[in-house]
Structure 1
Amino acid sequence: MSTVNQGSESAVLFPETLVKQTQADGVVLALRIPKDLTYFNGHFEEIAVVPGVVQIQWAVHYARQYLGLTRAFSHMESVKFKELLLPGQQLELELHYLQQTGKLTFCYRSATCEYSSGRIYFHDDLV
């Protein structure tokens, strides 16, 4: 679990990684959503939910960490948020990155459901 120190408090920004399984073009991570995740603050009052933008941020972060993704973001397609990610929840994040096309596919799921999925495209930074 990654944290960022903010004064005397640490901000919890990432899930706890329980298991990592590498594949030919990807990785499957077993994750646990921390109950004190910083992104729960204000999202929402009735129930703490991991925001969709955070799920995308995590997918890119872990692709950079485990799959050698270094390109710049281009666009997304077919991104679907089907079920809520909640505090304390355990799930898997499956990532596949095709270097030739710059396509990253992600899927957050458990044995019983798919929470979210989509494709994120990257390109060589021309700046």
Structure 2
Amino acid sequence: MSDLVITEPQVRAIEQTDDQVALTLYLQPELDYFRGHFPGAPILAGVVQLDWAVQYARQHLGMEGEIADIEVLKFQVVMTPGLEVTLHLAKKNNEKALFSYHSEKGQHASGRLVFVS
């Protein structure tokens, strides 16, 4: 029997308007991304946070095309197993979406995704 690989956070809530969405995400300790990054003190890699922001911007805000740039990218507080975070996404136009991750620990990351068709 193989181990189940979990690569998506558990979505606990979604609040959406036309051009904004807030997703409450639970970072299960079993997420594959915590394995080996880092042993004894696992954290969620920034590239995973970016991937999720892009994925949810496409899914909930209708953003299309490839990522041309990531502007004003900041990582402030690491995300650890068992944390519940809120991902805020706001569509600025058809090419840009702002994102930020927050939890009780403060702001974890933020930036602006630039899409190109």
Give the TM-score band, short-chain normalised: over 0.9
Moved over 6 A (4+): none
Which of the numbers 44, 65, 82 marks the counterpart of 1:71? 65
Which of the numbers 99, 102, 114 marks the counterpart of 1:121? 114
Distance 1:26 1:37 in 2: 26
Distance 1:104 1:77 in 2: 10
Once the two structures are aligned, what percentage of the paired residues are identical?
Answer: 34
Distance 2:71 2:93 in 1: 17
Distance 1:86 1:17 in 2: 16
* TM score, norm. by length of structure 2: 0.93
Aligned to 1:4: none
Aligned to 1:107: 100
Q: By how many angstroms is 1:63 displaced?
A: 1.0
Aligned to 2:92: 98
CA-based RMSD of the aligned residues comes to: 1.4
- Where do 1:1-127 residues align within 5 Å? 8-100=2-94, 102-124=95-117
* TM score, norm. by length of structure 1: 0.86
Q: Which structure carries more relative contact order (alpha carbon 8 Å, separation 6+)?
A: 2
Distance 1:40 1:111 in 2: 20
Paired residues, number: 117
Query: Given that residues 24 and 85 in structure 2 are in contact (C-alpha distance below 8 angstroms), is that contact kept between their aligned partners in structure 1?
Result: yes
SS in 2 for 1:59: helix
Gaps in structure 1 of 5+ consecutive residues: 1-6
Q: Deviations over 1:52-108 (max 9, x none)?
A: 0000000011111111122111011111110010101011000012333x1111100
Q: By how many angstroms is 1:42 displaced?
A: 1.4
Query: Given that residues 20 and 89 in structure 2 are in contact (C-alpha distance below 8 angstroms), is that contact kept between their aligned partners in structure 1?
Result: yes
Query: Given that residues 64 and 116 in structure 2 are in contact (C-alpha distance below 8 angstroms), is that contact kept between their aligned partners in structure 1?
Result: no
